[in-house]
Amino acid sequence: EVQLVESGGGLIQPGGSLRLSCAASGFTVSSNYMSWVRQAPGKGLEWVSVIYSGGSTYYADSVKGRFTISRDNSKNTLYLQMNSLRAEDTAVYYCARTIAAQMDVWGKGTTVTVSS
């Protein structure tokens, strides 16, 4: 079964760091484009970052320079390293397999709360 499972969310103080993980099963992360999308409480969807199968990475302007997307091929896992966290980064973070820019498989999400 094709599946994505996120983990690593939690409560973190402003300025802190957190690393999210997204474990894949049923397909190979490194052979696909993989995205992170977030949703602030009561708000819509916001694209955050993508890593291409070739390794190129891209970020939304709102997180550029603070977040880093990566993958571990041996673990078939996607990551999002989040540094210098702000209150406005509070959201549910989803990972998604991305094929031709449409996101066809999503995880259930992990919640990040940035608050003192």
> Residues interacting with another protein, by CB under 8 A?
37, 44-47, 50, 58, 60, 94, 100-104, 106-109
d(CA 33, CA 39) in angstroms, rounded, equals: 20
CB closer to another protein out of 1 and 74: 1
CB closer to another protein out of 27 and 106: 106
Residues 25 and 1: beta-carbon distance below 8 Å: yes
Least distance to another protein, CB of residue 51, Å: 10
Least distance to another protein, CB of residue 38, Å: 11
d(CA 57, CA 30) in angstroms, rounded, equals: 13
CB closer to another protein out of 46 and 76: 46
Least distance to another protein, CB of residue 92, Å: 9
Name the residue among 7, 35, 11 with its Cα closest to residue 87. Answer: 11
d(CA 5, CA 65) in angstroms, rounded, equals: 25
